[in-house]
Amino acid sequence: MRVIGYTYPWDLTEDPWRRDRVLGLGLDAVAVAGAYHAVRAATSTHPRQRTKVASHAAFYRPVDPSRFGTLVPRPAGWTESADAFGETVALLQGAGVPALAWTVLSHSSELGGRHPDHTVVNAFGETYPWALCTSHPDTLALAAALVSELSAGHQLDGYVLEAVGHLGFEHGGLHDKTMSYSALERSLLSTCFAPCCREARGTDADDDLAAAVREAMQPGGAAGHPDADLAGVLGAERTDLLAAGQERAVGGMAAAVAEVLPPSVEVHLPASPDVHASGPFAPVGPALRGLPAGTAPFAAAWGSLDKIETQVRTLVEASDGAPVGAYLTYIEPGAPPLAEQVARAAEAGASSVHLYHLGLCSAAQLDEVAALVQSLR
Ligand SMILES: [Zn+2]
């Protein structure tokens, strides 16, 4: 069982206590946020602050605009170093810990806000500033540039590629009051009708698809029925059209990134077994078809032990023999003991666990990680 931890750059570059603790854990690899969305993070052992407010999506290295296209990420203004990512990689590798670049590809309210013509648009014509349309060539160029620039000057050991595929309706960055929408309605609202996605699916068929989505979401419409599902509401033909669109959009982004990945790096993919999935966890089939052989998808395995088992098993079944991992949290109140989570994930077929999160957790929770790693050695 491989054990991979997650961290923000400031957790190691600004917090000596945590840095020493993390470097001594004996982890197989640590993923460091290099291109990352906005966040308000706990910094419970930082010598000078107790919260870190990353007020916009940022690139944690110096930004050279000439290396990017139309979409140029902003650097972070809240880290003590301009190359916080690069320094963290050097700290990890200097201590013999492989370093992975945790790279968020299509989620940036900062870029979506500045470039509304590059965002996801729903069937009602509403733009989602937090979500870049992954059929747009400029989004592909951004993804490729982020990946290239993170490895500039470093021999990274690998990448965690988050949001290979567009984000949809879900967005944790606002005070959400959307609880009345069902999972199906959220899925319908997540379908992208931006020009590039429409063009890729074929405009005539797309007018019909958008009308069907709107119809299903009228008061008393089919989407509101508790037993409704996508194919039942849209019909098999339109559902297949959507799946083919996902294949092109997600597969296209995966292929664009694969072209610039350094040779022989390990690649980890937050993934969903559902071809219609939107969000950080990309549809596993199309994404794996674009990414290099050996890419390891991993499942969102948060919650009860039974839920962990189901999530991992379902992804294993959808992943065509790829080595599957489990994304586990031990920082949520009420989370099962980490050792039990790992045991259940292994039973379900996981060969790696991704531990969220070495910077956000308490000192006692770091002890839990240390005990886990010792027990596995
Ligand atoms: Zn789109």
Residue 201 CA to ligand 1 center (angstroms) comes to 10
Give the pLDDT confidence score for residue 226 in this predicted structure: 87
Give the pLDDT confidence score for residue 234 in this predicted structure: 97
In angstroms, rounded to a whole number, what is the distance separating the alpha carbons of residues 36 and 116?
19
Q: Render pLDDT for 210-265 as a digit per residue (tens, 0 to 9).
A: 999 999 999 999 998 989 999 999 999 999 999 999 999 999 999 999 999 999 99
Residue 104 CA to ligand 1 center (angstroms) comes to 17
Residue 175 CA to ligand 1 center (angstroms) comes to 24
In angstroms, rounded to a whole number, what is the distance separating the alpha carbons of residues 103 and 150?
9
The alpha carbon torsion through 277, 281, 285, 291 (nearest 10 deg) reads: 140
Q: Which residues contact 24 (CB under 8 A, 6 or more apart)?
A: none
Give the pLDDT confidence score for residue 156 in this predicted structure: 98
Give the pLDDT confidence score for residue 202 in this predicted structure: 87
Residue 307 CA to ligand 1 center (angstroms) comes to 31
Delineate the domains of the chain, giving CATH numbers in brackets: 2-177+250-376 (3.20.20.80)
In angstroms, rounded to a whole number, what is the distance separating the alpha carbons of residues 10 and 92?
13
In angstroms, rounded to a whole number, what is the distance separating the alpha carbons of residues 138 and 133?
9
In angstroms, rounded to a whole number, what is the distance separating the alpha carbons of residues 168 and 132?
9
Residue 141 CA to ligand 1 center (angstroms) comes to 15
Q: What is the mean pLDDT of the chain?
A: 96
Tokens of 39: 């966040």
In angstroms, rounded to a whole number, what is the distance separating the alpha carbons of residues 244 and 101?
30
Residue 135 CA to ligand 1 center (angstroms) comes to 5
Give the pLDDT confidence score for residue 203 in this predicted structure: 82
Tokens of 376: 């596995």
> How is residue 107 annotated by DSSP?
B
Give the pLDDT confidence score for residue 171 in this predicted structure: 84
Rg of the Cα atoms in the chain: 20
Residue 362 CA to ligand 1 center (angstroms) comes to 39
Residue 285 CA to ligand 1 center (angstroms) comes to 18
Exposed (0-12), middle (13-18) or buried (19+): which is 103, by Cβ within 10 Å? buried
Tokens of 136: 């747009």
In angstroms, rounded to a whole number, what is the distance separating the alpha carbons of residues 320 and 176?
36
Cβ-contact 288, 297 below 8 angstroms: yes
Up-side HSE of residue 267: CA atoms within 13 Å toward CB? 23
Give how far the C-alpha of residue 147 lies from the chain's centroid of Cα atoms, to the nearest Å.
Answer: 14
Parallel/antiparallel/unpaired status of strands 29-36 and 58-59 = antiparallel
Give the pLDDT confidence score for residue 177 in this predicted structure: 87
Point out the residues of the chain with pLDDT beneath 70: none
Q: Which residues pair with 4 in a beta bridge?
A: 29, 354
Residue 132 CA to ligand 1 center (angstroms) comes to 7
